[in-house]
A and B are shown apart, each in its own frame.
Chain A
Amino acid sequence: MSGRDTVLGKIRASMRVSGPDAERKAAVASRLRDTPTGVIPARADLPAAGQQELFCAMAAQFGASVARVNDYREVAAEVSAYLRAHNLPAEIRIGADPRLKDAGWDLEKNLELRHGASDGGDLAGVSHAMAGIAETGTLALLSGPDNPTTINFLPEHHIVVLRESDIKGDMESVWAMLREQKGKGVMPRALNLVTGPSRSGDIEQTIILGAHGPRALHIVVVA
């Protein structure tokens, strides 16, 4: 017997399942079909502007810095200013996200853009988030050529651009966006929910920022 049959057989034996089992099958099918939401905290049950403010406040509380700009054309200037303020060279790693094609790069002549996945040699990377979750100040990032996953983890500084209208109250709203974009039950290879810069508490339970992932997370919200 295969490992599969053995394990499933043992489960069924322990639960004394036999016969056509229609009732249990129906319960599973309906949960997968209806995806009931359960308890959603009232914390983020706010009008859009309130959710945006809550997102920024929560992200800051968990160690990210947040800047707001009025237009995609201002993103490059914000990125340059961030790099200067942190004494970083004027170079970034970035994917192929079409929303960042025309982000004012032409206005920042000294800024060098390296495209594609990170090889670990980048000090700063720029990504575009799919959504923000106000409840916890969390970013949702999708893998793919537009935003390679390595950019989320390898550079010391991670700069994430987020459209203001993509800020939602809760995780469940992001699941709804995902289903609309990709289809029900379909996921990107990686969905990264990121809340603040990386940290470790493994030495004497003292939290230190900057473990294996980015030491700093900077969020640029575009109106």
Chain B
Amino acid sequence: MQLAAKHFKASASKALLDAQLQKALGNVEKGFIGKRQKAADALPEFDALRDNARDIKNHVLAHLDLYLEEYERNVVAAGGHVHWAETAEDARRIVLDICQKANARTVTKGKSMITEEIALNDHLTANGIEPVETDLGEYIIQLRGEYPSHIIAPAVHLNKDQVEGDFRRVHTHLPEGRDLSEPVALLSEAREVLRKRYFAADVGITGANFLIAETGTSVIVTNEGNGDLTQTLGKVHVVVASIEKIVPTLEDTAQILRVLARSATGQDMSVYTTFSTGPKRPDDPDGPGEYHVVLLDNGRSAMLGTEYQDMLRCIRCGACMNHCPVYHAVGGHAYGSVYPGPMGAVLTPSLNGIEETGQLPNASTFCGRCEAVCPMRIPLPKMMRHWREREFERNLTPLTSRYGIRAWAFFAKRPRLYRLAVSFGMPVLSLLGGKSRRLHSLPFAGGWTRHRDLPAPEGRTFLQEWAQREALKQGSGH
């Protein structure tokens, strides 16, 4: 996708007025928050597991180069191939090369955020290879020419009738009068259509939730079974994964698995947790003939040793966006980046630079719910604040707000002057507010009033009110 994080404010305003979207976003709270809480409550060790999961990833990050080497050794020992990609472009080239060597015409894909990050589908299509998304949510948005609005629920911004419309538009080989009013009918139809695609595909591409150094294994965690069909039925299985997906051992994987599904969907375990090691063995009746792993850096190595290193613990569970009031209000597309929500507000500037993405770390109310639910205990608000500071230092905040903050700082250090200045300002604003008590525009505050009205003050400052109340209290003897 084209990075459009610059337009966050405009996109957010549009999103707030989009009735279909607002209806669909109601499902985020309904679908995730209570379920996660229930699953967490049912496991007394949940918080201890979160601590341990955090420690495991911290250990990995401190030894990442060594674990990557060990992982590579074990993939090769199992007959697989490891490819190293410094950039998104390198990764695209490597995957295309594997597909072309396999004479691939179509490739099936399991759900993978990393292939969104490297915009793989466009690259394959441009080179005459058809990518077919097989996860139901991904399939729906591929039909619509969209990109995911959520890292684990890509089509969460859509309602059932929209999906029905898309299926009728695209599945023209099926009878027009068929009943698609129930979600189960839509699911069955996607199942039938995609079944044929798995068998026809030459290459199956998946992401990975974990790469296990001890055994050279890639792990995918899914509910539908599409990722498994993708990687089992293709002649070639390509895993695209970023370098921080490494975990040392099977035991470490079990620790993190126990917090992953609970945080994501409120399940104790997702339906399918699949450990893949190398290609088909000599006596195997099924499985891919070739097994490739593309290890992607794309800016992550530069996060090590910085204040953003903790972000590399992320296991992409989606809990932070499921609990984010900003995400609930505007949905994932408004962020204009592959990764939305709080994790995206931290990760996107790291991957794409703060110049283009400076609005994202500001898309937060700093309520702290994201950090409170993050299974990997990533201090998301703190890192968003780091980005805000960076952005400010680099003078990337709009001029008016910089002047505003400087002016405020000037007065804040001089309390008497401050009181004097606001005691002039308040009555003026109050007058401007007129009968409606709303200000529709304000000089230097267009960023605020373009998207909402400013309630006009009552004509007195907080400090004046406070002083009067205190005086009243004193007077009444309290």
In whole angstroms, what is the CA distance A200 to B214 when docked?
32
A193's partner among B233, B269, B281 (CB-CB below 8 A) is B269
Q: B136: which A residues are within 8 A, CB to CB?
A: 200, 202-203, 211
* Residue in chain A with minimal CB distance to B233: A150
Contact of A132 with B by CB under 8 A? no
Using known A-B contacts A8-B69, A192-B274, A199-B223, determine if residue A117 contacts B304 with beta carbons closer than 8 Å.
no
Does the CB pair B272–A213 fall under 8 Å? yes
0 or 1 for each of B9-33: is its CB under 8 Å from A? (1 = yes): 0000000000000001001101110
Contact of B99 with A by CB under 8 A? no
B249's partner among A10, A31, A42, A193 (CB-CB below 8 A) is A31
Does the CB pair A202–B137 fall under 8 Å? yes
Which of A32-40, A66-74, A122-130, A160-168 forms contacts with chain B?
Answer: A32-40
Using known A-B contacts A189-B276, A202-B137, determine if residue A211 contacts B191 with beta carbons closer than 8 Å.
yes
0 or 1 for each of A138-157: is its CB under 8 Å from B? (1 = yes): 10000111001110111000
* Residue in chain B with minimal CB distance to A31: B248
Does the CB pair A189–B279 fall under 8 Å? yes
* Residue in chain A with minimal CB distance to B226: A212
Contact of B341 with A by CB under 8 A? no
Does the CB pair B286–A193 fall under 8 Å? no
Contact of A11 with B by CB under 8 A? yes
Total B residues in contact with A, Cβ cutoff 8 Å: 104
Among A24, A28, A135, residue most surrounded by chain B Cβ atoms (within 10 Å) = A28
Q: B306: which A residues are within 8 A, CB to CB?
A: 14
* Residue in chain A with minimal CB distance to B53: A38
Does the CB pair B86–A205 fall under 8 Å? no
Among B43, B67, B214, residue most surrounded by chain A Cβ atoms (within 10 Å) = B214
Total A residues in contact with B, Cβ cutoff 8 Å: 82
0 or 1 for each of A165-200: is its CB under 8 Å from B? (1 = yes): 000001110010010000001111111111111111
Contact of A86 with B by CB under 8 A? no
Contact of A109 with B by CB under 8 A? no
Contact of B52 with A by CB under 8 A? yes
Interface residues of B (CB under 8 A from A): 24, 27-28, 30-32, 43-45, 48-49, 52, 56, 59, 62-70, 72, 74, 78, 83-86, 90, 134-137, 140, 153-156, 159-160, 163, 183-184, 186-188, 191, 194-195, 199, 213-217, 223-226, 228-229, 232-233, 243, 248-252, 254-255, 257-258, 265, 267-281, 283-287, 295, 297, 301-306
Interface residues of A (CB under 8 A from B): 2-4, 6-8, 10-17, 24-25, 27-28, 31-32, 35-43, 58, 62, 95, 116-118, 120, 135-138, 143-145, 148-150, 152-154, 170-172, 175, 178, 185-206, 208, 210-214
Other CB < 8 Å A-B pairs besides A3-B84, A3-B90, A28-B248, 7 of them? Answer: A4-B84, A6-B86, A39-B255, A41-B258, A42-B44, A138-B269, A195-B269
